[in-house]
Amino acid sequence: MRLNKYIANAGLASRRGADALIADGKVRVGGKVVRELGYDYDEAADGPVSVNGKTIAPAAADPSSGRTAAKKIYIALHKPKGYITTTKDERGRPTVMDLVADADARLFPIGRLDGPTTGLLLLTNDGDFAQRLAHPKHETVKTYRARVTGPLTKGKIERLRRGVDIGGYVTKPAEVEVVKQAERSMVIEIKIHEGKNRQVRKMFAAVGCKVVDLERTAVGAVRLGRLLPGHWRKLTLREIESLL
């Protein structure tokens, strides 16, 4: 199998993204840097592949996971900080479209992430799909990891779970778990079933806390997983179906 396909099948990047990683010397095969685009990778003979020093587990590179529906395209992007979720920005700021230009399709984002928010953003050229997913009745669960400062007591967590007023709107019940407790901040996993503008930041603000880092880690059953920042991959058929 082509090395770029192997990396793409493992969900780290698109094939072209994988080519860029190979050209940048970020990919090792059997411990040796490979810079040859079009390298024909033989798993048994060549040994494991690593990207940015992390080995790809062979099971993760299942070729069937690369299957996608015909014509329509559905992709998952790992949005880095500083990119705006819009198809065009009048002020010339970098947009998420810059990161998916090599997908060669007229894509648009499904929902949006704030400029400073990182993580999973879905894009498609399938208008019906995007509309169905964005419809409030769909209530697709979105999972976020937030690093927050300010005292977050058990009582406040309970309020976040039940619903808080974020300026004339009371949020629906959410799942909120403490992932890590540090001296000055906490990492919280929060799952919401709706998507109001800047909702997670506003929810924490409503209980007197500040979100200092926010990453979306999943939309429904589609997970950010090991997708590298700034890279995209195609959704699998199973992922597409699961969203509907």
Query: Least distance to ligand URA from the beta carbon of 101, Å?
Result: 22
The SS3 of residue 74 is strand
Query: Least distance to ligand URA from the beta carbon of 150, Å?
Result: 15
Smaller CB separation from ligand URA, 65 or 85: 85
CA–CA separation, 13 and 15 (whole Å): 6
Smaller CB separation from ligand URA, 145 or 234: 145
Active site residue 128: no
Q: How far is CA 65 from the centre of its chain?
A: 17
Q: Is 53 left (phi over 0), alpha (psi -120 to 50) or beta?
A: left
Long-range pairs for 59-64: beta carbons < 8 A, 24 or more residues apart:
60/9, 60/10, 60/11, 60/226, 61/6, 61/7, 61/9, 61/10, 62/9, 63/1, 63/5, 63/9, 64/236
Smaller CB separation from ligand URA, 47 or 220: 220
Catalytic choice (42, 114, 165, 213): 114
Binding site for ligand URA (CB under 6 A): 113-114, 117, 198-201, 214
- Residues annotated as catalytic are 114
